[in-house]
Amino acid sequence: MFNNVADQVKEAAGFLKLSLPALKVLITPQRILKSDVVIKRDNGQSESFTGFRIQFNDARGPFKGGIRFHPQASLDEMKALALLMVIKCAVVDIPMGGAKGGVTVDPKKLSSAELERLSQAWVKAFYKYLGPDQDVPAPDVYTNEQVMAWMLDEFERIAKKKSPAFITGKPMARGGSAGRDTATAQGAFYVLNESLKKIKLGKKKLSAVIQGFGNAGFHIGQLLHQAGFRIIATADSQGGIYDIRNGGMNPELLMETKKSRGLYSGCYCQASVCDCGNYKKMNNKELLETPCDILVLAALENQITVANAKKINAKVVLEIANGAITKEADQQLTKRKILVLPDVLANAGGVTVSYFEWLQNKQKQTWSKEKVLRQLKDKMTVAFRHVWQVSQGYQVSLRTGAYILAIGRIVDAMKQKGRI
């Protein structure tokens, strides 16, 4: 995964004619932190897990990035996601660098008390490298606002002072920001709207397919449905469904069904009435190849590859999930005139509102949700327009245009600080 991201950086850097030493600095982490994270289990026995924090280029501001608790968390993955975060922050022009951290652990096998101890132990392990002006963590896979609150408690205990700006994604009562829960989807929706203007597609009655029905997938579904898009197919990790009538699904009702039954594939329920006749089961391959106007990727990485890129039948692909499209597949989609809204732009709403939270904490302010969304819309709209201009100027895809834009900003900051 890291090599894929680094190759994209190298390609974009070529357009800017960067020297090899400058390129090497761009794709090399400033710091790779790895430590045993030891906790006491509820049975009194100690257990050790591997913890990470990768810090990537703070020329534009403090490191910024999520913390994940996952059994497959690896160093290569952390490096890739940290580098992506550097690019992402520069694309939307927020003054932060990139980071990613976590613990190789299955959190589902830990009690709440053990999770709290794990969160505290992670902060203890990396405390000297963290802080509001040094490295600002956030939630990621299998971490949430409660984990952030536990980490904040531990950081403040060690620092012996209040420091809400140390971490973002916190509960509102602890200095969290309004709008944080829907930020990624909302940012993606703003980018999609701007792109539809450019390619002259109206919003009304356009068909959409959504892969992934977690936080981002559900919320983008809500926004699309409210704006008049027809959601004709969607899937979660248990499977997918297709609307035979082509009339469109209501994400709210899908979520109600999922919560009450544990899944929604193969059957769509409204209240207590289930009508399976109008919906059919669909696997992941079928879902991705469904003819539609908008294909939303909100699940996992490597979903569109050279193996299926020729079979994608959408006008626009909205890449909310990190790395959902491989570099080679992206090139194929571009050749086929399918507009790809890349992850480093499309999902940057999350880190943008995280930055707003950090800013509110630093300034001892609390913004209304209306102000957060207004500021987010401004950021995402301007970012899209800049990426579009660069891509048109260099005659490249929006992904390459986003990387060119970001690398130019990062290199300018590095030159100002004498790093290259």
pLDDT computed for residue 304 by the predictor: 97
pLDDT computed for residue 41 by the predictor: 97
- Superfamily name with CATH number, domain 183-346: NAD(P)-binding Rossmann-like Domain (3.40.50.720)
Cβ atoms of residues 381 and 352 within 8 Å: no
Taking the C-alpha atoms of residue 85 and residue 68, their distance in angstroms, rounded to an integer, is 14
> One-letter amino acid identity for 57?
N
pLDDT computed for residue 352 by the predictor: 98
Domain 31-164, CATH class in plain words: alpha beta
Q: Which residue has the tokens 């280029």?
A: 57
Helices first, then strands: H and E counts in the chain: 14, 14
The string of DSSP letters for 263-294 reads --TT--EETTEE-GGGEEEE-HHHHHTS-EEE
Distances (CA, A) of 304 to 1, 280, 364, 391: 14, 23, 44, 22
Give the Cβ contact number of residue 325 at 10 Å.
Answer: 25
Written as tens digits, the pLDDT of the chain (420 aa) is 888 899 999 999 999 999 999 999 999 999 999 999 999 999 999 999 999 999 999 999 999 999 999 999 888 889 999 999 999 999 999 999 999 999 999 999 999 999 999 999 999 999 999 999 999 999 998 999 999 999 999 999 999 999 999 999 999 999 999 999 999 999 999 999 999 999 988 767 899 999 998 889 999 999 999 999 999 999 887 788 888 877 788 888 888 777 766 655 555 544 444 455 577 888 899 999 999 999 999 998 899 999 999 999 999 999 999 989 998 999 999 999 999 999 999 999 999 999 999 999 999 999 999 999 999 999 999 999 999 999 999 999 999 999 999 999 999 999 999 998
Secondary structure of residue 143 in the 3-state scheme: coil
- Global pTM reads 0.93
The string of DSSP letters for 288-334 reads HTS-EEEEEE-S-SS-B-TTTGGG--EEEEEE-STT-B-HHHHHHHH
Note if 362 is an active site residue: no
pLDDT computed for residue 271 by the predictor: 44
pLDDT computed for residue 264 by the predictor: 57
pLDDT computed for residue 262 by the predictor: 60
Give yes or no on whether 31-164 and 183-346 have one common fold.
Answer: yes
Domain residues of the chain, as ranges? 31-164, 183-346
Catalytic residue among 64, 79, 88, 100: 100
